[in-house]
């Protein structure tokens, strides 16, 4: 196997289910310190909330190119449903199987070997190269990248270009670059009614009935029209719970969890104001708790976009699509510092699934793209 597949195999063998790193970061340190990278270990949180992070940097000059990634993976689900051990990398039928092959140990391995090759070929390269690696991306993300960025900002250590190795590709490596992401605003809403007997509804107040007209209006509202880079803001109910489990009791409360994925055309404050105005319009008695997971960000153009597009064309011949679709990533914590941020990684068809895999040649192709990007920017 190639050096990239060898390293990916070693990373996958460590069962680093979020937030446990299981030695993955030390493996990267062992690979990168001989190249001149200086390691700073950053552990945030206590007890079960403790999260391991590393900041590795080679050089002190600007511009600073940063690769951001995570060593934690989601749980495997029923291991017996996998065709092979999820924490043993296996080649089968032209594919490379294992938890994290796509999300995102494969991307970490590809950038690490690309960096090794680049530093050996260009020992006097311009600027600096860094790795920001967390084990808290698939979990709450409270003690991971966001805390590392706070530390860097406090000492005015600025990232110019950030490449996030998330699985961005759709059909072939490099066919899609994520040059931004929508914001994410979550909400836990409780509608308060009055419990009672179904035979005496005049003595109760059914929160399901009270909520239905409001919910019908909420699900059909147009929040914005989007723009050239973002689709219109979307609203989705993810949880709706009420009742005691019996047929003869009117429930006393209804609990609803919902989420907005929003564009740059609207602010979280505007979304909150419009929802609460609707609740008040329908004269509902409610308790509400908002949670902003991340603001939208966009790298519409610049050196990083140009380097990524040129590298993909050179290595694959593809003309990549720039897209802001999909979920959130840790790029949401880095972009507000002023860095140009892109996500570029393997195909994402099987991420978080049973039998997660990538094509056997994908990671080597990705390594070549990353290497060429480093040439474009720092050679």
Catalytic residue among 20, 137, 166, 362: 137
* Residues 169, 348 contacting (CB under 8 angstroms): yes
Catalytic residue among 72, 330, 356, 362: 72
Q: List Cβ neighbours of 89 (8 Å cut-off, separation of 6 or more).
A: 5, 8, 9, 12, 13, 96, 97, 98, 101
Widest distance between CA atoms in the chain: 82
Q: Read out DSSP for 55-107?
A: EEEE-SSSSEEEEEEE--B-----GGGSSS-TTS-EEETTEEESTTTTTTHHH
Are the C-beta atoms of residues 145 and 162 closer than 8 Å to each other? no
Backbone angles phi, psi at 332, to 5 degrees: -65, -20
Q: Is 72 a catalytic residue?
A: yes
137 is catalytic: yes
Answer whether 37's CB lies under 8 Å from 58's CB.
Answer: yes
Reference 101, options 61, 62, 66, 73; nearest CA is 73
Residues carrying an active site annotation: 72, 137
């Amino acid at each position: 196997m190639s050096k990239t597949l060898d390293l990916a195999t070693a990373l996958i063998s460590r069962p680093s289910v979020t937030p446990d790193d299981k030695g993955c970061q030390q493996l990267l340190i062992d690979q990168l310190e001989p190249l001149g990278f200086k390691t700073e270990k950053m552990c945030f949180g206590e007890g079960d909330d403790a999260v391991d992070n590393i900041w590795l940097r080679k050089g002190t000059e600007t511009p600073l190119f940063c690769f951001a990634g995570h060593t934690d993976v989601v749980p495997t689900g029923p291991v017996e449903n996998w065709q092979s051990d999820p924490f043993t990398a296996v080649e089968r039928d032209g594919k490379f199987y294992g938890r994290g092959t796509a999300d995102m140990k494969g991307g970490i391995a590809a950038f690490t070997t690309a960096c090794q090759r680049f530093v050996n070929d260009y020992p006097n390269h311009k600027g600096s190269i860094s790795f920001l690696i967390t084990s808290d991306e698939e979990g709450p993300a409270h003690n991971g990248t966001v805390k590392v960025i706070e530390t860097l900002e406090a000492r005015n250590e600025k990232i110019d270009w950030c490449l996030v190795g998330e699985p961005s590709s759709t059909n072939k490596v490099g066919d899609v670059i994520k040059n931004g992401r929508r914001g994410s605003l979550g909400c836990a809403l409780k509608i308060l009614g009055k419990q009672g007997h179904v035979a005496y509804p005049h003595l109760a107040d059914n929160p399901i009935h009270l909520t239905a007209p409001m919910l019908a209006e909420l699900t059909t509202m147009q929040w914005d029209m989007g723009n050239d880079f973002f689709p219109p803001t979307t609203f989705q109910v993810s949880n709706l719970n009420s009742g005691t489990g019996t047929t003869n009791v009117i429930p006393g409360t209804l609990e609803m969890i919902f989420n907005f994925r929003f564009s740059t055309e609207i602010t979280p404050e505007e979304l909150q104001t419009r929802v609460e105005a609707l609740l008040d319009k329908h004269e509902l008695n409610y308790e509400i708790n908002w949670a902003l997971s991340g603001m939208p960000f966009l790298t519409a153009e610049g050196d990083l976009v140009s380097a990524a597009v040129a590298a993909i064309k050179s290595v694959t011949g593809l003309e990549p699509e720039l897209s802001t679709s999909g979920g959130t990533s840790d790029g949401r914590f880095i972009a507000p510092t002023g860095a140009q941020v892109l996500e570029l990684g393997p195909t994402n068809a099987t991420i978080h699934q049973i039998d997660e895999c990538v094509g056997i040649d994908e990671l080597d192709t990705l390594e070549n793209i990353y290497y060429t990007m480093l040439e474009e920017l720092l050679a």
